Amino acid sequence: METVFFKMGTEETLDEKYVRKAGNCLKQGGLVAFPTETVYGLGADALNEKAAEKIYAAKGRPSDNPLIVHIADMASIEKIVRDFPEKARKLAKDFWPGPLTMILNKKEIVPKSTTGGLETVAVRMPDHPLALKVIKAAGGYVAAPSANTSGRPSPTLARHVLEDMNGKIDMILDGGEVGIGIESTIVDMSVEPPMILRPGYITEEMLEQSIGEVLTDPALLFLPEEKAPKAPGMKYKHYAPKGEMKIVEGSGGCVVEAINNFVANELENNKKVGIIATDETYSCYPKGLVKSIGSRSDDKTIARNLYAVLREFDEAGIESIYSESFQDGSMGQAIMNRLLKAASHNVIDAEQAELGGI
């Protein structure tokens, strides 16, 4: 299959033409990747069983990992959910369009291929003008998981989508770099109190300010083998670069010293090593391929750069990656959730390492 790649923003009439083309392609059961404010999505008609199935094939995604249905206006919700509780209504009012996905009880019309066999459906209204136009042109319901090969870092640039999906999907709309860079917060509204199944830009605190008590799936704090997370997709190794990744925790100077020791060791063994640093520590690492993912004082930038940096290490053939840890800021939990998965929960205590314990 030839994948049409189109750079949006060149000319208004051309943009409109490609939105129409994308809409028609989706209506006919095709696959179109487009930007949202979180990451690039791989779209298919969410109400067309066969079209949704194609997403799993293109991504190599396990069939029990359900898709998020993207809508473009509030009127669309009634057709796909059995009930839309008062609290869900309030969250929609406060956070849609935006990076929040709600799990709701589904109506018959939503096929099982879209929901991975579940009786609930995940719904989101993205805050991106192009995404909203494409969804409307497609008839209003677009299932769109991240447009990467399953297990790889999510795409934050159209180029990342091309790397993974060229020849496997009908079309890619290039709308430039995404704004947030990590996937939406998922909150299960089919239970009481509502429960966060995946952390993201919208935090527990923000949700609680809107609707009162919200819990977080306790499994998010455990290894997937120890406790099964409630969102089926969260149990898979994810967001992972090709190289083996380790997170080094501890106080500033200790972390830098420990990472430099590990890097020296790896280089002696002729390994290609990468380091995830910050603007503050970038110059403290004399050896290895060092990438800064932003300033520690700016968690939003760190979130936006994370996946691109992991992909850059892949491009450079890096075999071993050492990362500082990033707990701070309102996005700290979401960033660490992705980093821990990318590193298969491989965390090293810098103080222990220094004492020769590791």
Interface residues with ligand AMP (CB under 6 A) are: 65-68, 103, 115, 118, 120-122, 145-146, 183, 186, 197-198, 231-234
Write the burial class of residue 80 (CB in 10 Å: 0-12 exposed, 13-18 middle, 19+ buried).
Answer: buried
38 touches Mg ion by CB under 5 A = no
User: At 290, is the secondary structure helix, strand, or coil?
Assistant: strand
Q: What are the b/e assignments for 261-275, b being 16+ CB within 10 Å?
A: ebbeebeeeeebbbb
Nearest distance in Å: CB 245, ligand AMP = 20
185 touches Mg ion by CB under 5 A = no
List the single partner that 281 binds among ligand AMP, Mg ion, none, CB under 5 to 8 Å by kind: none
Largest CA distance in the chain: 64
Cα–Cα distance for residue pair 112/64, rounded to 1 Å: 10
Ramachandran region, residue 303 (left: φ > 0; alpha: ψ -120 to 50; beta: rest): alpha
Cα–Cα distance for residue pair 261/106, rounded to 1 Å: 53
From residue 129 to residue 168, the character string flagging contacts with Mg ion as x (rule: CB under 5 A) and all else as - is ----------------xx----------------------
Task: Give, in order, the Cα–Cα distances in Å from 281 to each of 137, 144, 278, 292.
Answer: 47, 37, 5, 8
Alpha helices, H only, 144-251: 158-165, 204-211
Nearest distance in Å: CB 266, Mg ion = 30
Q: Which is nearer to Mg ion, 98 or 250 (CB)?
A: 98
List the single partner that 115 binds among Mg ion, ligand AMP, none, CB under 5 to 8 Å by kind: ligand AMP
Structure tokens at 208: 């609680």
List the single partner that 121 binds among Mg ion, ligand AMP, none, CB under 5 to 8 Å by kind: ligand AMP
325 touches Mg ion by CB under 5 A = no
Nearest distance in Å: CB 14, ligand AMP = 29
Nearest distance in Å: CB 48, ligand AMP = 17
36 touches Mg ion by CB under 5 A = no
Q: Which is nearer to Mg ion, 197 or 255 (CB)?
A: 197
Q: Which is nearer to ligand AMP, 21 or 304 (CB)?
A: 304
List the single partner that 306 binds among Mg ion, ligand AMP, none, CB under 5 to 8 Å by kind: none
Q: Which is nearer to Mg ion, 30 or 233 (CB)?
A: 233
Cα–Cα distance for residue pair 37/145, rounded to 1 Å: 13
List the single partner that 97 binds among Mg ion, ligand AMP, none, CB under 5 to 8 Å by kind: none
List the single partner that 181 binds among ligand AMP, Mg ion, none, CB under 5 to 8 Å by kind: none
Q: Which is nearer to ligand AMP, 76 or 120 (CB)?
A: 120
Q: Which is nearer to ligand AMP, 192 or 328 (CB)?
A: 192
Q: Which is nearer to Mg ion, 36 or 146 (CB)?
A: 146
Cα–Cα distance for residue pair 239/52, rounded to 1 Å: 22
Task: Give, in order, the Cα–Cα distances in Å from 180 to each of 98, 211, 280.
Answer: 10, 24, 22
Structure tokens at 294: 């932003």
Q: Which residues bind Mg ion (CB under 5 A)?
A: 145-146
